[in-house]
Amino acid sequence: MSINQRTDMLLEAERLTCSIDGRPIINGVSLHLHPGSFLGIIGPNGSGKSTLLRMLCGLLQPEQGRLMLLSRPYSAYSAKERARIIGYVPQDCSIDADFTIEQIVTMGRHPYRSLFRSLSAADIQCAERAMRQCGIDALRDRYIHACSGGQRQLAFIAKALAQEPQLLLLDEPISALDIRHQLRTLSLLRQLAGKSFTVVASLHDLSLASRYCDRLLLLNDGRVEASGRPDEVLTTAALHAVYGIHAVIRKEPDTKGLSVIAFDHEESIANYNFNY
C-alpha cells in the first residue's frame, strides 16, 4: 500500500505509556483517528497534552503501547516518509537562525526534495497557498526574529500546511494569537478537516474547542478522563474532577457550540447574572 493512500483509519494509538525522569506522563492512552475529523485535546497544564502529541508525530517513543499509521507501524516509515503524512506544529516556535517567513514555509517541502535539488514550481505553489491560507503572504520577506509571537506561530502552521500532510498535529496553535486570528486559525483548521485532512490540536479555551472540534479528548494526569463529542466530554462533573472548577455549561444555538463559564467556588454561581 502506498504511504499516501487513505484508509478508513488514519492513526491508531493503543494504551500508550510514557515516563520522563521516572515520572509517568502518559498512562494507557488510546485513540483512533479517521480522515476528515478534528480532535481537540484538552486538560490542565501538566496533564500530558504536549507529550501525547510528540508521541503521535513520532518524536517521542512510547515505553509501552502500539502506534499504527495507515495500518502500518511507525517503525515501517522513514522520517521523510512520515513527514509526508504528518505535519507537526510545536508549542514553542522559536528558532535560532534568522530566516524569512517565506524561507520557513518552504522548509515544509523538505520531505519531497532531494538534498541539493532547488525548489520546483510545485514546491513554490504549495508554499504560496499555505501562506495565503494563514494570512501571512504579505509578510513573506519579514525575518522571523522581527515577527511577533503570533506571526511566528502562523508561519509554522503554514510550514506544516506546505508539507501537504494527511494529519496535522498542533500544540496550542492559538495560544499566541489575538481573538480575531484565533477564530481565523480555528476556522481554517475546521475547513481543512472538512476536506479529508485529519486535525488534532491541544487547546485551552473550552468554549472554542466545543465550537470547532468534532470530538474532544480530556486528559487528567496522563489518563483519559473522557472522550467523545464536546457535549459528552464537557460536563460539570468532568470539569470539576479534572480542573477543580465549578462550571455552568450552556448550549449556544448561534454557534452550535457550548459556552463554558467557570467559577472557583460553587457559591459564586448563585451570584452570577445569566440574564444577558
Residues 135 and 199 in one domain: no
| pLDDT at residue 1 tops 50 | no
Using a 10 angstrom Cβ sphere, with 0-12 exposed, 13-18 middle and 19 or more buried, the burial of residue 91 is middle
Cell for 46? 501538566
Mean pLDDT across 207-211:
96
Check if the beta carbon of residue 34 is closer than 8 Å to that of residue 10: yes
Summarised one tens digit per residue, pLDDT across range 43-89 is: 999 999 999 999 999 999 999 999 999 999 999 999 999 999 999 99
Query: How big is the chain, counted in residues?
Result: 276
Residues 48 and 120 in one domain: no
Rounded to whole angstroms, the Cα distance separating 231 from 249 reads 9
| pLDDT at residue 5 tops 50 | no
Residues 13 and 132 in one domain: no
Rounded to whole angstroms, the Cα distance separating 37 from 25 reads 26
Residues 8 and 75 in one domain: yes
In a domain, residue 249? The reply is: no
Structural domain for 152, as ranges: 99-162
Residues 104 and 151 in one domain: yes
Check residue 271 and give its pLDDT.
67
Residues 129 and 186 in one domain: no
Check residue 214 and give its pLDDT.
95
Structurally, how many domains does the chain consist of? 2
Given pLDDT bands bounded at 50, 70 and 90, which one contains residue 126?
A: very high
Alpha helical stretches, state H, 10-100: 49-56, 79-83
Choosing from 162, 187, 214, the residue where a domain stops is: 162
Check if the beta carbon of residue 111 is closer than 8 Å to that of residue 80: yes
CATH number (domain holding residue 196): 3.40.50.300
In a domain, residue 237? The reply is: no
pLDDT more than 70, % of the chain = 93
In a domain, residue 246? The reply is: no
Query: β-strand 246-252 against 257-263: which pairing, if any?
Result: antiparallel
Cell for 17? 505509556
Residues 3 and 106 in one domain: no
Residues 125 and 45 in one domain: no
Nearest to 155 by CA among 181, 135, 180, 171: 135
Using a 10 angstrom Cβ sphere, with 0-12 exposed, 13-18 middle and 19 or more buried, the burial of residue 179 is exposed
CA angle, 247 then 211 then 221, to 5°: 55
Residues 145 and 187 in one domain: no
In a domain, residue 26? The reply is: yes
Residues 8 and 144 in one domain: no
Alpha helical stretches, state H, the chain: 49-56, 79-83, 101-106, 121-133, 149-162, 179-194, 206-212, 230-233, 236-243, 267-270
Residues 103 and 74 in one domain: no
C-alpha 98 chain-centroid distance: 25
Rounded to whole angstroms, the Cα distance separating 168 from 22 reads 30
Check if the beta carbon of residue 215 is closer than 8 Å to that of residue 228: yes
